[in-house]
Amino acid sequence: MDNSQLFFDFAPIWQARTLLLEGFGIAMFSAVAGIFFAILLGLIVALMRLSRYRALRAIAFTYTQLFRGVPLYVLVLWIYFGLVYAVGIDIPRIPSGIIALALLNSGYLSETFRSGILAVEKGQREAGEALGLRPWQVSRFIVLPQAGRIVVPPTGNQFVDAIKDSAILSIIGVPELMKVAQEQANMYYRPFEFYTVAGLLYLIAVIIVSKGISKLEQRLARFSRASKEASSGERRPSEVGG
């Protein structure tokens, strides 16, 4: 049957559905893993930036500037191609992509976490100290739980960006959704169809995650004064990278 006259030929999409969904799964996995490590790194860097020791603050500041300034595309190429040649570390495709996503997002998240921690009123820390809590207890039981609520919405937005950014990993051959779409588009010579479907899949993922975030935000806002200020949850427009 000749389908070349159809405006939107769904048949090749249907044939490639398992491949597309697998790609979608890998994309989501990369984004989740990337953001997971980004949160860990970002927290460490944020605490370093709030350290009383100048050297730690300087290192953390440089780190933040570095990974907020570098485009993901360059970072991915640098890790996957650059490091092999220069340092001899041969990191496979998917881990390379996850590392790049983690580093890039940790730069942004460290800033988010830092401002979240600073947004907790000074009096809260004082009150904890006055009770006789140890410094780590003040952080653990008083400051971090409140900061946590403040940073939920921006962290969620960062996750959304990581999902979108994961499409870039196709350039180093990570078999995620975009890579699959490219291959299939070339095979069937149906770029419009495949890229539309790929776009829709990303759209669905982003919408679901965004909805989840605002649900979470509402739940947290119910009993916390701290999260009120942040509940506007406005998206930082600087991450258009994906």
- Report 76-95 residues binding another protein (CB under 8 A): 77-78, 81-88
Q: Is 5 in the site for another protein (CB under 8 A)?
A: no
Residue 178, token pair as written in the block: 């975009």
Residue 133, token pair as written in the block: 């809590």
Q: Is 139 in the site for another protein (CB under 8 A)?
A: no
Site for another protein (CB under 8 A): which residue of 10, 17, 40, 137? 137
Q: How many residues does the chain have?
A: 242
133: exposed, middle or buried (Cβ count in 10 Å: 0-12, 13-18, 19+): middle
Q: Is 134 in the site for another protein (CB under 8 A)?
A: yes
Q: Is 43 in the site for another protein (CB under 8 A)?
A: no
Q: Is 229 in the site for another protein (CB under 8 A)?
A: no
79: exposed, middle or buried (Cβ count in 10 Å: 0-12, 13-18, 19+): buried
Site for another protein (CB under 8 A): which residue of 100, 181, 213, 230? 181
C-alpha closest to that of 143 among 115, 165, 112, 120: 120
Per CB under 8 A, contacts with another protein among 13-42 are: none
Per CB under 8 A, contacts with another protein among 95-114 are: none
Q: How far is the CB of 220 from another protein (least distance, A)?
A: 9
Angle between helices 177-188 and 191-221 (to 10 degrees): 160
Q: How far is the CB of 6 from another protein (least distance, A)?
A: 11
Per CB under 8 A, contacts with another protein among 157-176 are: 160, 163-168, 170-171
Among residues 155 and 227, whose Cβ is nearest to another protein? 227
Q: Is 213 in the site for another protein (CB under 8 A)?
A: no
Q: How far is the CB of 195 from another protein (least distance, A)?
A: 4
Considering just the CA atoms, what is the radius of gyration of the chain in Å?
Answer: 21
C-alpha closest to that of 87 among 78, 74, 75: 78
Distance CA 153, CA 218 (A): 10
Site for another protein (CB under 8 A): which residue of 196, 216, 231, 233? 196
Q: Is-contact 105 158, C-beta < 8 A?
A: yes
Site for another protein (CB under 8 A): which residue of 207, 211, 212, 219? 207
Site for another protein (CB under 8 A): which residue of 118, 119, 133, 216? 133
Q: Is 224 in the site for another protein (CB under 8 A)?
A: yes
Q: How many CB atoms lie within 10 A of CB 60?
A: 20
